[in-house]
């Protein structure tokens, strides 16, 4: 899938599941599959998860041919970005802005969401070449903060992350979000540790439905 096809896929589906767990391997792959069954088709595996790259590679193989977009999150440097892309990541997410990491993602033709919070950080990420700005942590300020930032910076595509739930999804889109990202409210560490794949699937379905309602 080309870069602009990936961006269009993210736009159409509107929600990214952020998977952060204390253990990777087969369990995390099953979590990825449960999220996809629930209708959330954009999935980010964070580098804070043990064996994240191996999990990404295995999940990519397992889901080949399905309409699922796998990315990597919590990327702190350019080399990790490169390794993740080689393992199958179709998009890259960072918690903060790192110009070298942005350049690496662009070199490989993959979209990158760079983390930022203040207006200065958001503009810096955008001017450094980020395709989207991950407004993080979005629970501080919520939809009202996003709306305030979008007013002077309407050209910047923003994806709020942190504090996003099925009840406020609509407010974030109304405030101008390109998409939203959800972690613990979709696939919590407790659900992952318990192997509650049915619960994770149910949460994913609720998010997918909430996004669909918000964008009608």
Report how far residue 138's alpha carbon sits from residue 160's, in angstroms, rounded to the nearest whole number.
5
**Which stretch of DSSP H or E encloses residue 158?**
strand 158-160
For residue 62, the tally of other CB atoms under 10 A from its CB is 15
CA 189, CA 97: separation in Å to the nearest integer?
Answer: 26
Tokens read off for 28? 């995390």
Q: Which of 33, 44, 90, 201 is catalytic?
A: 44
Active site residue 3: no
Annotation marks residue 134 as catalytic: yes
Per-residue tokens: 85: 């892309």
Q: Which of 57, 110, 134, 150 is catalytic?
A: 134
Question: What does residue 22 show for φ and ψ, rounded to 5 degrees?
Answer: -85, -10
Active site residues: 44, 134
């Amino acid at each position: 899938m080309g870069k602009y096809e990936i961006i269009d896929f993210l736009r159409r589906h509107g929600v990214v599941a952020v998977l952060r767990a204390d253990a990777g391997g087969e369990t995390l792959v099953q979590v990825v599959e449960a999220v996809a069954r629930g209708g959330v088709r954009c999935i980010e595996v964070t580098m804070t998860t043990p064996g994240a790259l191996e999990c990404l590679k295995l999940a990519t193989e397992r889901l080949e041919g399905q309409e699922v977009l796998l990315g990597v999150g919590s990327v702190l440097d350019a080399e990790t970005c490169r390794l993740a892309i080689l393992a199958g990541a179709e998009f890259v997410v960072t918690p903060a802005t790192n110009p070298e990491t942005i350049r690496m993602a662009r070199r490989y033709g993959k979209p990158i969401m760079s983390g930022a919070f203040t207006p200065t950080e958001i503009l810096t990420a955008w001017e450094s070449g980020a395709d989207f700005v991950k407004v993080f942590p979005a629970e501080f300020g919520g939809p009202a903060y996003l709306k305030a930032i979008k007013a002077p910076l309407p050209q910047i595509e923003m994806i709020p992350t942190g504090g996003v739930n099925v009840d406020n999804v609509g407010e974030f889109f109304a405030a101008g979000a390109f998409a939203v990202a959800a972690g613990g409210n979709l696939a919590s560490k407790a659900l992952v540790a318990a192997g509650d794949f049915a619960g994770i699937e149910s949460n994913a379905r609720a998010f997918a439905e909430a996004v669909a309602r918000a964008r009608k």
